[in-house]
Structure 1
Amino acid sequence: MLTHIDKQGNPSMVDVTEKQVTRRTATARSVVVLPDEVLQHLVNGDLMSKKGPVFQTAVIAGIMAAKKTGELIPLCHPLGMDNCSITIQVNQQQEIVIDCTASITAKTGIEMEALVGASIAALTIYDMCKAMSHDILIKETKLMEKTGGKHDFKRA
């Protein structure tokens, strides 16, 4: 069942009037693959570019974007998040792993905010590194976990 379609088949915002207020959390992950000519600029856990510290800037951009999710995705409810945090690490495969975790106590979930935060952090890394190489791949963005609401979810 598509929740954003009304009985006439038109786009519709989900009515959350009757839903219970619960604590809701979501974590989303984006993975960015950078070529060696970019990774060689990794210093003390951050990439340094002419535009400044890449990961620090991506964290700020991701949090700002998560806060604006209701403005960016047409049928999302505008939410006042209780918290949003982003971590960026380099994994064993030399990929950049961005995790965005958002939380709220509300009638509707926060997974879109986490997905937007992780996505924009990844796009910010691309933007800040593209002068060094255009051979950058945003490999994936996916929901890792959500709690609260009707169903909890955790990716294996």
Structure 2
Amino acid sequence: TDVGSAITSGSLDASSSTIGGNVNVLGSLVGLVGATVNASGTNGGGTVRIGGDYQGGGNVPNALRTLVSDDTVIKADALLNGNVNITTNEFFRATGTFSDRNEITASISTAGGAGGGSITILHEGGFPFIVGNGSINGLQILFVPAANLSLVNSIL
């Protein structure tokens, strides 16, 4: 089956006053240009998949290339408590506190709620990169290909 391209520059809003919904931007070529993706919820963020599923799994297409412009915003915040899930095949960056070595400058928010919860970021990028700037937020993390990060009862 041939898979087409998915390019958006608008707003994809699955936020909720309870638990955020799911947002999938999938295709052989995926682009977010000046886009806003919001899957935040009071009691848990939803799941955001950009360009595919973790390690190419699942039954969704996985992008050959993903482009995210620097004015794109992706949010899957747990506003009070609950879990957050973001899966990407090429990138992760949160503007102001994190810097990556993949030259992605989009803003990605994965704030955990004040009441606790977990934040899971799954990355399938093909090469390692570092997020975090210890001089700004005291936290620096090395992501390796196909690695994941789980933060439990933490607020980013």
TM bucket, shorter chain:
under 0.3
Bigger helix fraction: 1
TM-score, reference length from structure 2: 0.24
Greater RCO between the two (CA within 8 Å, min separation 6)?
A: 1
TM-score, reference length from structure 1: 0.24
Task: Answer with 1 or 2: which has the greater Rg.
Answer: 1
